[in-house]
Structure 1
Amino acid sequence: MRVYLFIALVAACATYLFTPIVRHLAIRLGAVGEVRKRDVHTIPTPRMGGLAMLCGFLTAMLFASRLDFLQGVFRQNHQAWIVMAGAILICLLGIADDVWDLDWMLKLAGQLLIAVFVAWGGLQIIALPIGSLVTASPTISIAITALLIVVSINAVNFVDGLDGLAAGIVAIGGIAFGIYSYILARTSPSYASMATLLDIAMVGICVGFLLHNWHPAKLFMGDSGSMLLGYLITCASIVMTGRLDPATVSTSIYLPAFMPVLLPILVLFLPVLDMMMAIVRRLRKGQSPMHPDRMHLHHRMLRIGHSVRGAVLILWGWAALIAFGSIMLLFFTPWHVFIVFAVAAVALTVATMSPYLNRLMHGTVEEIPYDERGKTGGGERRRNGRAKHIRNA
């Protein structure tokens, strides 16, 4: 465990130190956009923070490759190097979008190509609780893996709308997933686990970046960061669950037979929910699934009356409840977990609706106008030209 904590610290420190450098680079490259009506922030702020996160991740992974405890996971196969290569490619695609505002179809095509490359390189889901995918067809395995990567990338991208929101949600999911993968690793002769390593390094870069990205943010992660985080958390889940055989794992650890499929969904429940709601909403209006609007979960939180920080903390709470609720099943009976989950859900519901309830108690229920809130955040972003005024360091 101490080795993993050391790797997390390396990732956090490296990301924290690289972020100011990347901020100045983003300004020089013009990765700064004008504030639009749908944006939550009010001051033009540099993007491209994903480059700092990538540097922190690669630094942590290179450190890990030199440690005796973790050298084995690098020598067993080349999955670690495939993951790092894919991380570089997906981050470069995001940087291109942050700087040049790529068309959404071109960006989606790039995501799919990178996902196929990673799956073809050996990072695949080869078995599900219903049977082996490789036995059916290696092509099916690659297709399902690539689809999962692309969906997760865009789910995190959709939820990246407030300062610290996406990084916090992914960090919470990474901690939950890291606990699960560590428990599974302890049943093997060696505690070393590539899945745990990826999770811990990802949590570290999220924490390091949050120190600069907390409201009011000095740098946004941009598409380069949101796509990188979606990619990494999916790779970690594929490494851990993609090769598990439900028949070979003790039921005391591997509770439901579909846990390898359900856990990644639960970890990314909020981003996936927000993405699915957005796609349905836009298609019903006859719009493109990527058409921007101000109806995301974080926009709704602000419209109810929450501050930026309040909305982020409450959404973090929901993410933690869903992610850790599934992990609690490993240690407690389902009935006890249900009671704790229900109590926490009621508390979070009250906190979520508190501004509306306060106005209701005072006899006024109208929504607070969107432009009257203190706004500083990420949001779906598109550059309309180089900003003339940028937030001071």
Structure 2
Amino acid sequence: MREYLLTILVAALVAYLLTPAVRRFAVWFGAQAVPRDRDVHVIPTPRLGGLAMFGGMVAALVVASGLPEMRKVLANGDLSVGKALLMSGGLIVLVGIADDRWEVDPLTKFAGQVAAAGIFIMQGIQIYSIPLPNGESLSLPPAYGVPLTVFVVVATINAVNFIDGLDGLAAGVVGIAALGLFGYAYLLTKTNGMTTLSGATLTAAVLFGMCLGFLPHNFSPAKIFMGDTGSMLIGLLLSASTILLTGQFDPAVLANGLFPLYVPLLLVPAVAAVPFMDMLLAVWRRTNQGKSPFSPDKQHLHHRLLQLGHSTRRAVLIMYFWVGLLASGLVGLALFNAAWLTIGVTLVVAILGVVLMLRLGRPRGKRRGAAAEPGDTGQQPAARPQLPV
């Protein structure tokens, strides 16, 4: 655990210290997000925060390569986790920089994501088997394992990109997911008497540290955005940890049934469930109105939370709460032999969360003349645009 904690600390510290320098570079380079009608921020904000996160990842991997036990994890036979993360991460960062500066077309970004998945496969990060309900594992030949791996990587990257709608939202949500994967992998191996050292656990630890270090600069009011450089990078690492965990555990040695085998496959969809539902509702809403499914509007979930009277910070914290509740519920079901108790506690907390969310939020039109707090968007109250009711 000490080596994992050191890796997390290095990733967080380097990402935190590099972000101000990256912010200045982004301004000089011209990579800034100009406010659009559907955006919450009202002044141009530098992008490229993913560069600082990439620096945190590189530093953490370098430090890990010098630790006695982590060195074994980074280069384990045919599986080279460190090399895979550096090569694929470097490629996705280059694509992200180009998009943050010049806004490349979706096909080019898609090609870069597929190429990054290809690097994973060449370095041994691939889905080789899927657990079955009967306790056995279905081995996947390359004809099935390769396209499935590419699909998981591309889908996860784009899910994270879709989450990135409010200050600190993507970094916090992915950080919670990474912490959930780290806790799941570490505690499950320790509980069942297996080695706690694995590429999946290390990847989740590095990802958590990167998000933790960047978040203070990105939380509302954001001084810098991660941009596609960051959202694609953390989505890539999240997919890597998920793929590495899939098929890692032998059903015969698990003491808590077969459910733990499915947690890696369920955790990322659970974390992305809220934004994916938001996306499906947006497509249905726009199509119903005779508009293009890709036409922007201000009816997304985070916009609705703002309309309820929540500040930007509180809206983000609400999203953190639901993601954390889903992640902790899944991990709890995997680790504890008390499924009904875990489900019951999760449901009670969820009900309390809904009650508090509704009570704390008040429609803007019904506020008694109170001025908006400066922390709502990071700007002065007078500069805040009014959202449609």
CA separation of 1:112 and 1:284: change in aligned 2, threshold 3 A: farther
Counterparts of 2:202 and 2:261, CA distance in 1 = 24
Kept after mapping to 1: 8 A contact 2:49/2:226: yes
Return 5+ residue gaps in structure 1 as ranges.
366-371, 378-393
Q: How does 1:88-167 map to 2 (within 5 A)?
A: 88-130=90-132, 134-135=139-140, 137-167=141-171
What one-letter code is carried by the residue in structure 2 that aligns with 1:157?
N
Shift of 1:214: 1.6
Query: Greater CA deviation, 297-306 or 10-19?
Result: 297-306
Secondary structure, aligned partner of 2:10:
helix
Counterparts of 1:317 and 1:274, CA distance in 2 = 17
Show the counterpart of 1:340.
345
Counterpart pick for 1:306 among 310, 324, 330: 310
Show the counterpart of 1:294.
298
Show the counterpart of 1:44.
44
Shift of 1:134: 4.9
- Equivalenced residue count is 368
Kept after mapping to 2: 8 A contact 1:167/1:210: yes
Counterparts of 1:58 and 1:314, CA distance in 2 = 32
Deviations 1:245-304 (A, max 9, x none): 4x3341427535533422332244334444444455556667666554333321221122
Show the counterpart of 1:24.
24
Deviations 1:349-380 (A, max 9, x none): 12332355x559xx969xxxxxx994359xxx
Kept after mapping to 2: 8 A contact 1:177/1:267: no
Counterparts of 2:107 and 2:289, CA distance in 1 = 19
Counterpart pick for 1:208 among 210, 213, 216: 213
Secondary structure, aligned partner of 1:68:
coil
Higher relative contact order (CA 8 A, sep 6+): 1
Shift of 1:241: 1.4
Show the counterpart of 2:86.
84
The answer to whether structure 1 residue 227 and structure 2 residue 232 are counterparts is: yes
Q: How does 1:68-83 map to 2 (within 5 A)?
A: 68-76=68-76, 77-83=79-85
CA separation of 1:345 and 1:19: change in aligned 2, threshold 3 A: same
CA separation of 1:306 and 1:205: change in aligned 2, threshold 3 A: same
Counterparts of 2:315 and 2:225, CA distance in 1 = 17
CA separation of 1:34 and 1:197: change in aligned 2, threshold 3 A: same
Return 5+ residue gaps in structure 2 as ranges.
368-373, 380-389
What one-letter code is carried by the residue in structure 1 that aligns with 2:63?
F
Deviations 1:98-149 (A, max 9, x none): 00011223222322232233224321111112476654x3021111111111
Kept after mapping to 2: 8 A contact 1:176/1:267: no
Kept after mapping to 1: 8 A contact 2:157/2:236: yes
Counterpart pick for 2:324 among 320, 326, 332: 320
| TM-score normalised per structure 2 | 0.86
Show the counterpart of 2:357.
352
Counterparts of 1:207 and 1:325, CA distance in 2 = 22
The answer to whether structure 1 residue 194 and structure 2 residue 196 are counterparts is: no
The answer to whether structure 1 residue 60 and structure 2 residue 60 are counterparts is: yes
Secondary structure, aligned partner of 1:128:
strand
Q: Superposition RMSD on alpha carbons, in Å?
A: 2.8
Secondary structure, aligned partner of 1:170:
helix
What one-letter code is carried by the residue in structure 2 that aligns with 1:238?
I
CA separation of 1:69 and 1:121: change in aligned 2, threshold 3 A: closer
Kept after mapping to 1: 8 A contact 2:246/2:261: no
What one-letter code is carried by the residue in structure 2 that aligns with 1:190?
T
Shift of 1:92: 1.4
Shift of 1:189: 5.2
| TM-score normalised per structure 1 | 0.85
Deviations 1:190-236 (A, max 9, x none): 32121111111111111110111121111111111111111111111
